[in-house]
């Protein structure tokens, strides 16, 4: 951004009323127009403080976008002119009407033979051209800003624009500012600009923003996650206000979805969105969205050895991108990140889907956080020989209570075991009861044969979990019981016993009704029911009934016989057909 000294000098030029011309050029999106309007606002505020009786200068802002002739430009300068003491620095119907009224009065008073025809004004006729010409003649001693030289129509060439600026500066005592992106000019316009710039402008200033300036402008009026967004913008060296505004806008859309969730999700979302938006809308050399999507969990295992190799042989372009990702704190792309990136590509989020994924990600984040806190709590026990029993107990019990929805059964079991060894049986019993009563979990969590339960040996914990699991049990039909136990994730003995009650017809109907993975699973399990521990005669009999049902299905058609043999890998006795 032009430094403060230059801004003060421009303000002094505006205040002095001296004629002149200045060109402010800079790349797309760096905030040239934003800077100018902020500066003109300061000038207006300073003017309002003046107590003298001098009439304030008039001001006109014109964008060349869509203008196709010099007459269009002349007319726009006139029509957009306003008094600097207006509340809003923009033209209105009233201000345009006032401008034309003044010109009409001048024409009627000073041009013989025209007054009678003005009442039937025709913009396309001779009197319309006369009015436009007269209107531009009124443009004197004004401050004029002409913006978007690179976007003007084909009928308006650069040499004519610069000639008009020179006329306004020399002949009309105007102070003129031209704002342009020189890099976006086509070859002809660029050559004309270079040819006439020295003679047209008193000075040409290169406008640029630092990343901090860019973040400050984009985050103005924003408090939520401002420091995090600013840090990401700075690390990616983003100097484009439009891009920074997009980042702020996308991040703000996530606020309702992430409200109340683990803070790490917000940090993750801001970093991922900033990267994805920079890749899609940024300038210069940068990776592709596909490259970002390809970053999976292996990125978190980048080793010092890899870094040493890169330092010795020089980093490839891809390695530099990965280094940049690590610098911003992006580790790898997970399911939550993928939804964010898809939202950037589409231009909007699938809110319902993102909400569900955010819920899962939040649960995982809280679980990781709980694990870290648990490890820290046990470090107090393992880390010294200090006589700090109260501190150890307070840390372990407090951590469990604070993370009761996330800690594993193993942590509960280990804590209870330690409490009992320290003769704190009452505390241990209370902790077990609190865990069982407060933990929100599905029935499978309380199964004693769950792998999470392998490290639990305390009989009171085991008994509490058994009672909790049984409280979930409802009466299942034999078909429902078979589907449940066939999932292979651990099941209650009662469910297995109910499944063994299936008759041959029950098996037959179930096999015919189910499809896909469920069918394959129940067929496989039905033939192996007798191989599970605590084999009973009922299980052996159930297997025979299942085989009989499958034999009926095999006999029903050669196609089904082939399906059983090749798809389900089931070999049955072949019956001789009569």
Residues with Cβ within 8 Å of 246's Cβ and at least 6 positions away in sequence, in order, are: 277, 281
**What is the distance between the alpha carbons of residues 79 and 372, in angstroms, rounded to a whole number?**
67
Q: Which of 423, 394, 399 is nearest to 412 (CA)?
A: 399
Tokens 């003017």 label which residue? 47
Q: What is the DSSP letter of 57?
A: P
Structure pTM? Answer: 0.63
The pLDDT of residue 473 is 65
40 sits in the region (left: phi over 0; alpha: psi -120 to 50; else beta) called alpha
Cα separation of 531 and 389, whole Å? 49
Q: Which residues of the chain have pLDDT under 50?
A: 1, 87, 107, 110, 112-119, 121-124, 298-309, 312-313, 576-578
Which residue is listed with tokens 């650069």?
158
| pLDDT in the model for residue 427 | 95
159 burial level (CB within 10 Å; 0-12, 13-18, 19+): middle
- Give the model's pLDDT for residue 570: 86
Q: What crossing angle do the helices spanning 70-79 and 93-110 adopt, rounded to 10°?
A: 110
Helix segments in 83-173, DSSP class H: 93-110, 115-118, 126-137, 158-170
Out of 1.10.3210, 3.30.70, 1.10.10, 3.40.50, select the CATH number for domain 4-208: 3.40.50
Specify which residues 177 forms β-bridges with. 22, 145
Query: What is the structure's pLDDT at 63?
Result: 94
Which residue bears the tokens 């107990």?
Answer: 393
Where are any strands of DSSP class E within 170-222? 175-180, 203-206
pLDDT at 88: 59
The distance of Cα 359 from the centroid of its chain, to the nearest Å, equals 16
Residue 108 forms beta bridges with which residues?
none
pLDDT tens readout for residues 427-461: 999 999 999 999 988 777 887 665 556 678 899 99
Distance of alpha carbon 544 from alpha carbon 507, whole angstroms: 11
Q: Would you list the DSSP string of 259-270? A: TTS-HHHHHHHH
pLDDT at position 252: 93
Residue 241 and residue 27 in contact, taking contact as beta carbons nearer than 8 Å: no
- Torsions phi, psi of 287, nearest 5? -70, 175
> Is 469:448 a contact under the CB 8 Å cutoff?
yes
HSE on the CB side for 502, CA within 13 Å? 34
Residue 57, pLDDT score: 79
- The candidate with the shortest Cα–Cα distance to 25, out of 186, 203, 195, is 203
CB 449 within 8 A of CB 466: no
- Residues 252-261 as b or e (16 or more Cβ within 10 Å = b): eebeebbeeb
- How far, in Å, CA of 412 to CA of 450, rounded? 15
* Alpha carbon distance 269, 267 (integer Å): 6
Q: What is the DSSP letter of 566?
A: I
Distance CA 272, CA 258 (A): 14
Q: Do 31 and 209 meet the contact criterion of CB atoms below 8 Å apart? A: yes
- From CA 199, how far away is CA 191, in angstroms rounded? 14
What are residue 22's phi and psi, to 5 degrees?
A: -135, 135
Tokens 């060109």, residue located? 23
DSSP state for residue 399 in the 8-state scheme: H
Residues of the chain with CATH 3.40.50: 4-208
In terms of Cβ atoms closer than 10 Å to its own Cβ (0-12, 13-18, 19+), residue 29 is buried
Tokens of 106: 């001048």
Residue of 432, 518, 425 lying closest to 480 (CA atoms):
518
Angle between helices 389-402 and 351-382 (to 10 degrees): 170
Predicted local confidence at residue 112, as pLDDT: 46
């Amino acid at each position: 951004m032009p430094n403060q000294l230059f801004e003060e000098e421009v303000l002094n030029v505006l205040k002095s009323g001296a004629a002149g011309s200045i060109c402010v050029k800079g790349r797309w999106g760096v905030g040239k127009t934003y800077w100018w309007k902020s500066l003109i606002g300061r000038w207006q505020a300073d003017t309002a403080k003046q107590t003298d009786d001098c009439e304030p200068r008039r001001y006109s802002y014109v964008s060349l976008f869509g203008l196709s002739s010099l007459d269009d430009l002349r007319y726009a300068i006139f029509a957009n002119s306003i008094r600097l003491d207006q509340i809003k620095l923009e033209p209105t119907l009233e201000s345009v009407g006032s401008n034309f009224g003044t010109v009409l009065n001048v024409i009627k008073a000073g041009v013989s033979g025209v007054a009678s025809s003005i009442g039937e004004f025709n913009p396309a006729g001779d009197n319309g051209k006369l009015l436009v010409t007269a209107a531009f003649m009124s443009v004197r001693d004004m401050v004029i800003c002409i913006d978007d030289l690179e976007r003007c129509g084909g009928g308006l060439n650069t040499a004519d624009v610069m000639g008009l600026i020179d006329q306004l500066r020399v002949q009309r005592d105007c102070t003129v500012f031209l704002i342009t992106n020189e890099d976006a000019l086509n070859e002809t316009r660029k050559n004309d600009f270079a040819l006439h710039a020295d003679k047209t402008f008193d000075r040409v200033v290169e406008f640029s923003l630092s990343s901090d300036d860019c973040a400050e402008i984009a985050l103005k009026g924003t408090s939520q996650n401002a420091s995090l967004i600013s840090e990401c913008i700075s690390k990616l060296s983003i100097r484009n206000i439009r891009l920074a505004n997009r980042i702020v806008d996308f991040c703000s859309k996530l606020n309702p979805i992430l409200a109340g969730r683990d803070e790490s999700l917000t940090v993750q979302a801001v970093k991922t969105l900033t990267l994805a938006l920079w890749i899609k809308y940024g300038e210069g050399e940068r990776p592709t969205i596909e490259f970002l999507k390809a970053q999976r969990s292996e990125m978190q295992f980048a080793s010092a050895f890899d870094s040493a190799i890169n330092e010795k042989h020089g980093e490839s372009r891809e390695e530099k991108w990965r280094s940049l990702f690590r610098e911003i704190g992006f580790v790898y792309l997970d399911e939550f990140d993928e939804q964010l990136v898809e939202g950037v590509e589409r231009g909007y989020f699938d809110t319902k889907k993102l909400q569900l994924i955010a819920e899962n990600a939040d649960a995982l984040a809280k679980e990781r956080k709980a694990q870290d806190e648990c490890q820290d709590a046990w470090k107090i026990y393992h880390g010294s020989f200090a006589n700090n029993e109260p501190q150890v107990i307070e840390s372990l019990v407090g951590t469990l209570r604070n993370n009761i929805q996330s800690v594993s059964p193993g942590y509960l079991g280990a804590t209870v075991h330690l409490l009992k060894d320290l003769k704190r049986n009452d505390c241990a019993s209370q902790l077990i009861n609190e865990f069982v009563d407060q933990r929100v979990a599905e029935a499978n969590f309380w199964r004693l044969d769950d792998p999470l339960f392998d490290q639990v040996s305390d009989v009171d914990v085991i008994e509490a979990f058994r009672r909790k699991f049984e409280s979930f049990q409802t009466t299942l039909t034999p078909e429902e019981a078979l589907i449940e136990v066939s999932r292979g994730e651990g099941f209650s003995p009662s469910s297995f016993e109910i499944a063994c009650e299936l008759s041959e017809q029950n098996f037959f109907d179930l096999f015919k009704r189910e499809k896909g993975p469920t069918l394959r699973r129940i067929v496989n399990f039905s033939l192996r029911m007798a191989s599970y521990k605590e084999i009973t005669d009922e299980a052996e009999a159930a297997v025979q009934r299942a085989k009989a049902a499958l034999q009926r299905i095999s006999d029903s058609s050669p196609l089904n016989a082939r399906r059983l043999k090749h798809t389900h890998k089931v070999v049955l006795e072949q019956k001789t057909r009569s």
